Structure 1
Amino acid sequence: MEPRRVAVVGYDAAELLDIACVTSTLEAANWHGARPPYEVRLLTPGGLPITCGTGLTLQGQQSLERTTGPLDILVVSGGIGHKRASADALIVAHVRRLARESRRVASVCTGAYVLAAAGLLDGRRATTHWRWAPRLAARHPEVVVDADPIFVRDGHVSTSAGVTSALDLTLAFVEEDHGADLARTVARNLVTYLQRPGNQAQMSMFVGPRPSMDGLVRRIVEYVTGNLTGDLGTYALAAEAGVSERHLTRLFLKELGEPPGRFVRRARTEAAAHLLATTSLPMAAVAARCGFGTAETLRQAFVDRYGIPPSRYRLTQQREEREVRTTRPA
C-alpha cells in the first residue's frame, strides 16, 4: 500500500505551530489506523536546519530543491519569515514546481503569501491570518481574499487562517481521505474541536482583542453589545452618538471595516451562537434575546454568517460537549 506523501515547506522564521499542527495531526491519523498512511516530510531550502520564529531549530528532512512528486498534499507554512520567503525566487519557484506535482496544495496562515507569489492563488478565493489579510489583498489584487473563515478550499488549493486553524484544515483532509469517524478520533486525541467548519469566523467580537478605535465608535460598540434588543438602526445609533448617519457610517468603515448595520447583525448573530451553545432556550427565545424579530430572521442571519442553520449549530455543539464529557478523566 503506497503511503500518501505529504510535504510541509518550512523556512527560517517559519512558525513552529504552523508546521506542528499539520504534522502532528497526520501522524495521529496514522496512529489511529489511517490506511494508506501519511508519509510526512519537512522540506527546507537545501535540507538544512531552520530556526523557527519561536527561536527553536528544526532539522529539515528533505531538500526543497531535490524533492519531486507526485505528492498527495503540499503544505506551505507561515510565520514572521513569510515576507522573506515569498520574495525568495528559489523557494517560490520550487513551491510552484511541486504544486504541479501535487494532488492538493495548501497553506497555513501567512504561507498564503508564498502561494500568491507563486501565482497559485490567482483568481481563487483565499484566506490568511486576519491581521495579514488586508496586506495580502493589497499586494495581490488578483487573489480574492476573505479574512473571515478559518479555512477556504477553492478547487485543489486550500488556505487556512492563523496558526491553529491548520488543525481544522488538516482534520478536513483526514475526513476526506479516511472518513468522519477517524477524523473525530484524531480530534479527540488532540483535545481539540471536533472539527470546526471552514466557514466559521476567525475572530469573535466577544473574545477578540478590543481594537484601538475612535472613542465615539468604541462607545457605540459598547452600546450595541449591551442593548441587543433595542433599536439599533443606523439612525438611532447616530442619534445616540450625536452625529449624522453619514458620519457614523464613515467612522465605522474606517475603524471596523463595516457599516453600523452589518456590525449590529454580526453582534446579534454571535450573541445567538453563544446562547445556542450554552443554553436550551427555544429558538424563538434566542431570537428575541438577541434582537431578531423572529426565529426565521435569526436563521437567515446565522446561515449568512456561519453557513449552517442555528439548529444544526446547536446539535454540533451538544455533540461536541458529550464527546468532551466522555473523554474527560474522572
Structure 2
Amino acid sequence: PLKLHISPIMSFGFLFADYQRTNVSAGRVFEALDAEPEVKEKPNAMELPNIKGHVVFENVVFGYDPDKPVLKGVDLEVKPGEKIALVGITGSGKSTLIKLIPRFYDPQKGRILMDGYDIRDVKLSSLRKQIGVVHQDIFLFPMSIRENIAYGKPNATYDEIEKASKIARIHDFIMSLPEKYDTVIGERGVTLSGGQRQRLAIARALILNPRILILDDSTSSVDSETEKEICEALKELIKDKTVFIVTQRLSTLKLADRIVVLDDGRVVEDGSHDELMAKNGLYTKIYKSQILGSGGV
C-alpha cells in the first residue's frame, strides 16, 4: 500500500525539497530514494538535542562540481529567533546556501554549526526534524487533506491539525468541502489553487513546529492579494523561530529583520533594509530593479 512506502519518507521532512520545483512524479521520487545519497551519516553520529536555532557558517566553500564553487567562503552568523532574508541575482548562491542547512550537501571546505554542533557530526533525522521548509511548490500526496497536513508527524491529533489549519487560514476552505479533512487531494480528488497549497504548506510546518524555518520563494507563484493573506499566516508561523527567507517579493521581504546580500558566492552586504538602502550598493540595485517590480507590496 502507498502508506507503507510513505512512512519512511515522512521521517525525513526535506527529502522532496530538491524535487519540488520540477513537480516530479512519485515514481521519480522513489527512484531518488534508491540513489546514492549526497551525504552520509557518520557511524558514531550523535543525536542533536533540541536546539535554540543558532546557525553559523564558517568559511563555507561548496560547488555541485567541486572544481566550480558556487559558495566561495561564506561567513554568516544567525542568532536564535533572528529572521534573515537572502537576496541576490540568479546564480548568487542563495538557494544553494539554504540547501546546506538541512545537509542535502556537505561543503568542500568550512563547516556549519547549529547551536555549536557541527551538523556533520549529528544524526540526519535529529537534524532535519528541527528544520521546516515552506516551498513555492509543495509536494502533495494523493491522500486526504488531514494526512497531507500531518506529513512528517503522522501521529498528529485532529485538534493539532485543526489548530494549524486555522492559523494558516485554510480551515474554512477545508470545512466547505464535502468530506472536509478527509477530502482526497489529487487526480481523483479535489484540486487546490496555488494559494491553498501554500496555506496547506504553512499548516504542515506548524504541525512540525521546527526551530529553524526556511521560506524558499514561498509566495512567488501567487497573486499579490493572496500573498498578503499568506504573509499574515506566515507571521504566526515564524514567531520565536530562526528563519531564512529567499524571496523577490517585497511583502515577504518585510518579514525579515535583517538582509544578507550574496553576489558570486560571497556575502557582500549585511544589514537592515534602511542601512543597505543608505549604502546605495547591490541591494539598492536589486531592490529597485527586481523587488519593487515583483508585485507584492
TM-score, normalised on structure 2? 0.30
Task: Pick the structure with greater CA Rg.
Answer: 1
Higher relative contact order (CA 8 A, sep 6+): 2
TM-score, normalised on structure 1? 0.28
